[in-house]
């Protein structure tokens, strides 16, 4: 099974991209970039309600025949996108939400690092380890 996990800054350029396994990475990049339009549509549809929340789990953005694409956005408009196999019926909405919260917490730790420049690509061994372990749990 394949599971990409991607983070995008408010301007929609990637801060972090991870795929397990890596053989279909290009296909997943296309799927994830396509989903950013859906994320932006959902954010604009929610309007001011988004401002009142600290984080926003967008839920299922759209399903394809093979995959389900989920989204999450922080109050600073950083977007998280996760793609999971449609055949994985063990993953419920609350598990996906929990995974996004873990990602958000780890991302917050990176932002608190005085040596990290906001907007730079994320290069963190701790973040990689957390993402890899989370992805392996889902496989």
Nearest to 43 by CA among 72, 3, 13: 72
Q: Which two tokens stand for residue 46?
A: 């929610």
Average pLDDT for 22-43 = 81
pLDDT value of residue 74: 87
Place of tokens 């954010």: 43
pLDDT in tens, 67-103: 899 999 988 889 999 988 888 777 888 899 999 999 9
41 exposure class (CB count in 10 Å sphere: 0-12, 13-18, 19+):
exposed
Q: pTM, whole model, 2 decimals?
A: 0.84
Q: Which of 3.40.1160.10, 3.10.20.30, 3.20.20.140, 3.30.450.70 would CATH assign to domain 3-137?
A: 3.30.450.70
- 26 vs 108: which has the higher pLDDT: 108
DSSP string, 60-81: EEEE-SSEEEEEEEETT--EEE
């Amino acid at each position: 099974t394949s599971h990409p996990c991607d983070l995008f800054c408010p301007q929609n350029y990637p801060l972090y991209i991870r795929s397990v396994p890596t053989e279909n990475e290009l296909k997943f990049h296309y799927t994830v970039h396509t989903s950013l339009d859906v994320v932006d549509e959902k954010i604009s549809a929610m309007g001011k309600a988004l401002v009142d929340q600290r984080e926003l789990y967008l839920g299922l953005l759209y399903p394809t025949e093979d995959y389900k694409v989920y989204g999450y956005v922080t109050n600073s408009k950083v977007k998280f996108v996760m793609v999971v196999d449609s055949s994985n019926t063990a993953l419920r909405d609350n598990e996906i939400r929990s995974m996004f919260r873990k990602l958000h917490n780890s991302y917050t730790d990176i932002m608190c690092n005085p040596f990290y420049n906001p907007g730079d690509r994320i290069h963190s061994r701790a973040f990689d380890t957390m993402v890899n372990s989370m992805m392996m749990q889902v496989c």
